[in-house]
Amino acid sequence: MPLMKSWIASANAADCPFPLNNLPYGVFSHAGGAPRCGVAIGDQILDVTALEASGHLTLADKLVLDRPEWNAVMALGPQAWQRLRTLLFGYLVEGAALKSQIANYLHPLAGATMHMPFAVAEFTDFYAGRNHAVNVGTMFRGAENALPPNWLHIPIGYNGRASSVVVSGTDVRRPWGQLKSPDGVEPRFAPCLRFDHELEMGAIIGQPSRMGQPVSVADAYAMIFGYVLLNDWSARDIQAWEYQPLGPFQAKATATTISPWIVTREALEPFRCATPEREKPLLPYLQEPGPMLYDIELEVELTPKGGTPTTIARTNYREMYYSAAQQLAHHTSSGCPMRVGDLIGSGTISGPTRESRGSMLELSWGGKEPVTLKGGETRSFLEDHDRLTLRGQCRGDGYLIGFGDCTGTVLPALKGPYGV
């Protein structure tokens, strides 16, 4: 699909992340004003809350964009999603009849404050990238036992915390927790020493499922409203002590950062690709009727306080072993109901080379091979005041599909477990 041209000139630049082909959804505010729903187009944000209030945008028999979240639009279902995209396209395409009127609802993207684009109902994170699973398993169990026996058959996940999902730009404080060194006799309660990031994608569920009723992979695919970049902040030393026998808990509860713009399934449609060839056939309920991954280029940038940014990893979402649709189908297989606004984390996205590893745990091989930054500093894990930025984009014919940066800065731990 080639670039679709807009009357907003900045949207037609080959390096613009928000062309007419994209039209991602977010929540923004300007100069202390109230947060409202917006659509990114070029270097502008279209205020769709005001556009709906004016009568130019009707999706239901009541207002659905009058609150600072996109959940009400999601709840309307795929037909309304398509109608919204069609209306927006008609208003923003080159030669649009209502150009002069629509221009009154545009605001500069520069200087806008971005907010959470949706209210997160529940958060589930998966462990579904093979390269990551092999790397971590090799470090802790040896290459011959890297993958657990169930890994090639089932997308492994855990239930996370919706309450600590935050939007890009939110600072993240280093957590306290129980730590126990390999040669220690007893654990101690102290600040995390091995704080880490995980490069992931997040799938946002736009339609519910009924309790007791599993959904197929095809139906799960249709339930997904869109995608965001996701950083699953991880306290590795807390995790090492707590994870047996029930898996991660406090090590993953500190924060999960998402990018500010929801990129819709329709915008990603030209970039669909297949999951990797299976070593072992999946059970029928997990088999895909078609390609359900996406070719999304991803990178991680680390910037120390006062230092030079360094790109420490580059990989691609197509490296995943299980798609979001497969993860969602498996999630419902027990009869677990899904809700509008549920968030599904892909799991860490790592490629086959060191430069494509999606976490510091892998990049430094458990701290044994520190990463050298551009300024000469080294990192085994994240240090206080480090800023992590995740970026993602799809490359089309003369255009890009971007998500906006997913950024967070590590704040020092509290001076005491309950002190400031």
* CA end-to-end distance (rounded Å), the chain: 53
Rg from Cα positions in the chain: 22
Instruction: Based on DSSP, count helices (H) and strands (E) in the chain, helices before strands.
Output: 10, 27
Q: Give the residue carrying structure tokens 């999951």.
A: 275
Closest CA to 259 of 286, 220, 226: 226
Active-site annotation holder among 30, 107, 132, 331: 132
Q: What is the 3-state secondary structure (H, E, C) of 146-209?
A: CCCCCCCCCCCEEECCHHHEEECCCCEECCEEEECCCCCCCCEEEECCCEECEEEEEEEECCCC
Q: Give the residue carrying structure tokens 């613009």.
A: 16
Separation CA 27–CA 169 (nearest Å): 14
SS3 at position 224: strand
**115 is known as an active-site residue:** no
SS3 at position 294: strand
Active site residues: 132
